[in-house]
Structure 1
Amino acid sequence: MMKLVFANALLVCLLLSSSFLEISMAGSGFCDSKCARRCAKAGVKDRCLKFCGICCEKCHCVPSGTYGNKDECPCYRDLKNSKGKGKCP
């Protein structure tokens, strides 16, 4: 019985630590590098980087390429601005 409780506690700790790791990765260089690639050909690069960074932190992903491929990340694709248009570049 005690082994089962210990195993469950260990499993919960592992799951929580992996969630925190994923969140901290998204806040660090992960989003910066993914958005730099995504916005490489943008006309207004600073604006693209700003909104890509916001979307990446919220969704924890950025579609590949410099345009399109948004089906790779439905959260990124579905975020809308106040006017109902796509928020993420």
Structure 2
Amino acid sequence: MDKRLLDILCCPVSKRPLRTLKSGELEILNAGIEKGQVQNVAGEKLSQRVDEALVTTDGKVVYRVDDGIPVMLPEQGIGTVQFNEWPASP
């Protein structure tokens, strides 16, 4: 992800800045998707692995990046409260 783009993006709901999802967080997300346990804010179950994503700096909402394009629709956000093992925010 282009750093200049990342610097201007923010969560459309909370307006918090975003950062790139770390590899360990991505593994947790994809493990949940593979088990059929992950839903987006709209309540839709996710079935496809995520290769790249952004997360709010408080670690509460994840947004997919599809083909280099951040999907910043509020209903497409993925709440991290559904993951028991999600790391605490720095």
After TM superposition, the score normalised by the length of structure 1 is 0.27
Larger RCO of the pair (alpha carbons < 8 Å, separation 6+): 2
After TM superposition, the score normalised by the length of structure 2 is 0.27
From the CA coordinates, give the structure whose radius of gyration is larger.
1
Q: Which protein is richer in helix relative to its size?
A: 1
Q: Which protein is richer in strand relative to its size?
A: 2
